[in-house]
């Protein structure tokens, strides 16, 4: 029986300490190679989504450096579209090479430029939370605020300060109906890059808005709409933990929705890192009654053989 899995890649799958295009292409080649076991000897249809926070932030800085009436910087929604295409190209190249390297059929690898509908009155527009771009120390933040006084910065998990922008919840994927036939045709599909290009619905069509959608929440919506059997959220650790980094730390394996809700009420998961992944996984489980798993790229083979990672069930 064919299983359909939506895979949400974390930023560590793309961006390294070297932000050049070549370095990011090489990182994605490694990522593609790690994902091949999912489809090599298993009846699995794989759909891949990915983040773009670092890339879209860096692109905005590049544009602002040369901003002029003759060469104006593009708005945030357009920058999301640009980086979605950029990373989609790199992923197409990486997966094609990985398929050839593993002597697999050279199936089409397609990246779909994807629009994600959000509500115009989403409260997230009044409270920016989504980190984009590089990290800054305190001196760097002061310098950036002097240049761009409207920008908002927050401390990010002890790693420095980053600019944050609105991150509304996805309500619909515009291209979902077109994506499903591609998956059924054994096409390897990359969709909803960077959470999708944020748009609001208007009487005359769709209008882009200044925001970056969380890729895990968007992945949950994609997984729901393409009727995936499993949502697989990949991050830097093999499992979700409670009492993380404490003497009584405990890894979570198979966990019910009720148990996860209790852990959230206890404040077990960091708001800037694990909490949104857990919440996105729970949204998929709640809407579909199908499981969602949070684990790492390095743990994929164990996930396939032992169903390892943190598996959330109804």
pLDDT number for residue 245: 87
- Give 193 or 242, the one with higher predicted confidence: 242
**Beta pairing, strands 161-165 & 130-136:** antiparallel
Active site residue 11: yes
Domains of the chain: 3-117+170-312 (3.40.1160.10), 129-165 (no CATH)
Per-residue pLDDT of 48-69, as tens digits, reads: 999 888 888 889 889 888 878 8
pTM confidence score: 0.90
C-alpha to C-alpha distance for 65 and 71, rounded to whole angstroms: 10
pLDDT number for residue 250: 96
Lowest mean pLDDT among 84-93, 183-192, 208-217, 288-297: 183-192
CB-based contact 179:171 (threshold 8 Å): no
147-152 long-range contacts, CB within 8 A, separation 24+: 148/64, 152/128
- Out of 58, 130, 193, 194, pick the active-site residue: 130
Token representation of residue 158: 């002890």
In degrees and rounded to multiples of 5, residue 130 shows phi and psi of -85, 115
C-alpha to C-alpha distances, 212 to 55, 66, 127, 128, 133, nearest whole angstrom: 12, 22, 13, 10, 12
Active site residue 145: no
Ramachandran assignment for 300, one of left (phi > 0), alpha (psi -120 to 50 degrees), beta (any other): alpha
Active site residue 215: yes
Lowest mean pLDDT among 28-37, 102-111, 113-122: 102-111
3-state SS class at 265: helix
Spell out the alpha helix ranges (H) of 166-248. Answer: 176-184, 215-225
Per-residue pLDDT of 135-177, as tens digits, reads: 899 999 999 899 889 889 988 777 889 889 999 999 999 999 9
Looking at the DSSP bridge assignments, the partners of residue 168 are none
pLDDT number for residue 2: 76
pLDDT number for residue 12: 66
3-state SS class at 222: helix
CB-based contact 40:102 (threshold 8 Å): yes
- Out of 215, 221, 239, 311, pick the active-site residue: 215
Mean pLDDT score across all residues of the chain: 91
- Out of 57, 277, 299, 311, pick the active-site residue: 277
Band the pLDDT of 134: cuts 50, 70, 90: confident
Active site residue 230: no
- Out of 12, 40, 145, 251, pick the active-site residue: 12
Active site residue 12: yes
């Amino acid at each position: 029986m064919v299983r359909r899995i939506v895979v949400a890649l974390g930023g560590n799958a793309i961006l390294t300490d070297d932000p050049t295009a070549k370095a990011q292409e090489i990182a994605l080649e490694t990522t593609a190679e790690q994902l091949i076991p999912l489809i090599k000897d298993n009846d699995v249809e794989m759909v891949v989504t990915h983040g773009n926070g670092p890339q879209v932030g860096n692109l905005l800085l590049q544009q602002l450096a040369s901003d002029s009436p003759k060469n104006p910087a593009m708005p945030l929604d357009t920058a999301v579209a640009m980086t979605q295409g950029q990373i989609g190209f790199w992923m197409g190249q990486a997966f094609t090479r990985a398929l050839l390297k593993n002597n697999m059929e050279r199936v089409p690898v397609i990246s779909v430029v994807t629009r994600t509908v959000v509500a115009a009155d989403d409260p997230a527009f009044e409270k920016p939370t989504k980190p984009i771009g590089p990290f800054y120390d305190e001196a760097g933040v002061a310098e950036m605020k002097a240049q761009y006084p409207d920008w908002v910065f927050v401390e990010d998990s002890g790693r420095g300060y980053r600019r944050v922008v609105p991150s509304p919840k996805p309500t619909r994927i515009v291209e979902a109906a077109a994506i499903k036939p591609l998956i059924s045709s054994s096409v390897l599909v990359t969709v909803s890059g960077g959470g999708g290009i944020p748009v609001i619905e208007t009487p005359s069509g769709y209008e882009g808005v200044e925001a970056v959608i969380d890729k895990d929440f968007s992945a949950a919506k994609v997984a729901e709409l393409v009727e995936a059997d499993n949502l697989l959220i990949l991050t830097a650790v093999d499992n979700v933990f409670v009492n993380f980094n404490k003497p009584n730390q405990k890894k979570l394996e198979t966990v019910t929705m009720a148990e996860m809700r209790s852990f959230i009420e206890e404040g077990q998961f960091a708001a800037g890192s694990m909490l949104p992944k857990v919440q996105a996984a729970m949204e998929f489980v709640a809407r579909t009654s199908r499981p969602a798993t949070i684990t790492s790229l390095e743990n994929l083979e164990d996930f396939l053989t032992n169903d390892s990672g943190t598996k959330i069930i109804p």
